[in-house]
Amino acid sequence: MSRFVDRVVIHVSAGSGGNGCASVHREKFKPLGGPDGGNGGDGGEVVLVVDSGVHTLLDFHFRPHAHATNGKQGQGSNRDGAAGETLELRVPDGTVVLTEDGEVLADLIGNGTRFVAARGGRGGLGNASLASKARKAPGFALLGEPGDQRDLVLELRSVADVGLVGFPSAGKSSLISVLSSARPKIADYPFTTLVPNLGVVTAGESTFTVADVPGLIPGASQGKGLGLDFLRHIERCSVLVHVVDCATYESDRDPVSDVDALEGELARYTPALGGSLADRPRVVVLNKIDVPDARDLAEMIRPELEARGLPVFAVSTASHEGLRELSFALAAIVAQDRASRPSMEASRIVLRPPAVDEAGFTVLEDPDEPGAFIVRGERPERWVRQTAFANNEAVGYLADRLARLGVEQALANHGAKPGCPVTIGDVTFDWEPSTPAGTNILLYERGEDPRLDRNDRVGAAERKAAKRARRGLTNGLTNGQTDGPTDDPEPDAEAEPAPEDR
């Protein structure tokens, strides 16, 4: 049994960017090969694409999680990592993308329309791209950024020109079946129609689409019955058709009261796409006039409805009486609405450069901790995500970038003291003002930065000195000497140097 799903919640995750590579070129007879670490590849994106061959959101109901691939890590010899593949999700025409709070992000209309649901993370730069006059051979690389992760709501709102609304068993499904080639389920009990049905109608040289939604009941706009779930399918309609049953056997109903009830529900419903259903053109169809009493009732109430300014058509889906006049009248209204709409223009690329004096970040006092500060901004937060804090040289590079951006000066202007906690993104550190940005950096070992006071890493010079001490102690004990002071103040000049000194 086929299922119609017009609202789903999906969880999309874009790919993360690959890390950059920290590598030094090594080749025979080229002792100073220089850095050759490649950049990491960008993560893949998750894109929603309108496909005319898809008519329901059923696939997302069973598979709500979508993940794009990650970018590959950079490698030596200036080899960049491969970018992650873009994941395209096919959605039906008329899909609306919303946040969980109900904010409309995109209205996807037209075959091939695309919307980037989640952007992939940027790949980190390798040390070859980070080389400069100050850092000729960087001993670090930037990390890749994580991709976006979002929870989105997809709602299908049918793209139809004419919407049929009415009470259950009013004959809407029968009407769309005789006007078009649609074959909906038709039965003699209420709520036979559980899903919207679309049909294509041809009237002369005009062609338009008709949507049949499940029957409305009083209170549908507040969530009663099935009306609230399917009223959104008539939001795009150019004209609304009230299908009224003139042969009903319910004593407390009549065609005029049915029209009033339908008008009240449409007026109380607020479309999420904007506008109001109360402003749409109306047409009243008095159905089932093949029944003698229904024909008499239709002729009796026609003047009252026409006095309200509503076009009235008496039809019979059994004998096809009045259907031709109805189809041509609807085609004329649809053509008039199409002509009144503004012409669609090709989308243009709009560039909005930032202001000259725009810093790109803000400094706020931390409300949870006195004397602490929070730095917010796209670039500072991105730079923190790209930094490998286990590498002191990478931390020093981050400090230089923040200083050039003006973060240190802004913290000082806000009264920040050395050692106060500063939070950028998900990282909190004790702020220590560094040297002014742009000054020459002293030469130092790869992976180190002498400006960082608290350095727990053991540098290459310390490891080499420790190794020499251990080797000298071993040689002395082997020659029968003690580890105490020696009587000979000068070493033997002809002694063979240690292997690491060669």
Annotated binding site for GTP: 166-173, 191-195, 212-215, 287-290, 316-318
Say which DSSP state 139 is in: S
- The interaxial angle of helices 255-268 and 292-307, nearest 10 deg, is 50
Residue 26 main-chain phi, psi, to 5 deg = -125, 120
Distance, in Å, from the CA atom of 41 to the CA atom of 53, rounded to the nearest integer, reads 33
Distance, in Å, from the CA atom of 402 to the CA atom of 381, rounded to the nearest integer, reads 10
Residue ranges of the annotated binding site for Mg(2+) are 173, 193
The sign of the CA dihedral 144, 150, 154, 159 is: negative
Residue ranges of the annotated binding site are 166-173, 191-195, 212-215, 287-290, 316-318
Q: How many CA atoms lie within 13 A of 235 on its CB side?
A: 22
Distance, in Å, from the CA atom of 399 to the CA atom of 433, rounded to the nearest integer, reads 9
CB atoms within 10 A of CB 469: 10
Lookup: tokens for 445: 């070992």
Residue with tokens 């919407």: 163
Measured between alpha carbons, how far is residue 226 from residues 221, 231, 266 in Å? 10, 9, 14
Bridge partners (DSSP) of residue 9 are 153
The sign of the CA dihedral 225, 256, 308, 163 is: positive
Residue 95, helix vs strand vs coil: strand
The sign of the CA dihedral 293, 295, 300, 304 is: positive
Say which DSSP state 312 is in: E
Bridge partners (DSSP) of residue 79 are 75
Lookup: tokens for 477: 């004990």
Distance, in Å, from the CA atom of 364 to the CA atom of 217, rounded to the nearest integer, reads 53
Distance, in Å, from the CA atom of 228 to the CA atom of 337, rounded to the nearest integer, reads 26
> b/e map of 173-200 (b: 16 or more CB within 10 Å)?
bbbbbbbbebebeeeeeeebbebbbbbe
